[in-house]
Amino acid sequence: MEILKELFFVFWFFAPAGLANMMAFFSGKIPFLKPFTYPVDFFLKLNGKRILGSHKTIRGFVVGILSAIICACLQVFLARQLPWLQSYLLVDYTHIDPILLGGLAGFGALVGDAIKSFFKRQAEIPPGKSWIPFDQLDFIIGGIVFTWFYLPLSLLDYFLLTVVWLVIHPAISLTGYFLRLKKERV
pTM of structure: 0.89
Looking at residue 26, what is its pLDDT? Answer: 85
Distances (CA, A) of 80 to 4, 52, 56, 76: 22, 40, 35, 6
DSSP one-letter string for 80-120: HH-HHHHTT-SS-GGG--HHHHHHHHHHHHHHHHHHHHHHH
Looking at residue 34, what is its pLDDT? Answer: 82
Looking at residue 177, what is its pLDDT? Answer: 61
Radius of gyration of the chain (CA): 17
Q: At residue 81, does pLDDT exceed 70?
A: yes
Distance CA 66, CA 86 (A): 24
Greater confidence, 181 or 31?
A: 31
Number of residues written out for the chain? 186
pLDDT digits (tens, 9 = 90+) for 99-124: 999 999 999 999 999 999 999 999 98
Q: Sorting pLDDT into bands at 50, 70 and 90, what band is 129?
A: confident
Please give the average per-residue pLDDT across 14-27, as a whole number.
Answer: 93
Please give the average per-residue pLDDT across 44-66, as a whole number.
Answer: 91
Q: Is 174 left (phi over 0), alpha (psi -120 to 50) or beta?
A: alpha
Is residue 88 packed enough to be buried (19+ CB in 10 Å), middle (13-18) or exposed (0-12)?
middle
Q: At residue 135, does pLDDT exceed 70?
A: yes
Distances (CA, A) of 74 to 42, 102, 139: 33, 10, 21
Please give the average per-residue pLDDT across 170-181, as a whole number.
Answer: 67
Please give the average per-residue pLDDT across 3-26, as a whole number.
Answer: 92
Distances (CA, A) of 163 to 10, 136, 160, 178: 10, 11, 5, 24
Which candidate, 122, 139, 126, places its Cα nearest to that of 173?
139
Looking at residue 131, what is its pLDDT? Answer: 83
Q: At residue 62, does pLDDT exceed 60?
A: yes
Identify the DSSP state of 125.
P
Looking at residue 119, what is its pLDDT? Answer: 93
Please give the average per-residue pLDDT across 91-106, as a whole number.
Answer: 95
Please give the average per-residue pLDDT across 43-48, as a whole number.
Answer: 88
* Domain boundaries defined on the chain: 2-178
Mean pLDDT of the chain: 89
Half-sphere exposure of 76 (CA within 13 A, CB side): 16
Q: At residue 80, does pLDDT exceed 90?
A: yes
Looking at residue 70, what is its pLDDT? Answer: 98
| 169 Cβ contact list (under 8 Å, min separation 6) | 18, 21, 136, 139, 140
How many C-beta atoms surround the C-beta of residue 112 within 10 A? 23
Q: What is the largest CA-CA distance in the chain?
A: 56
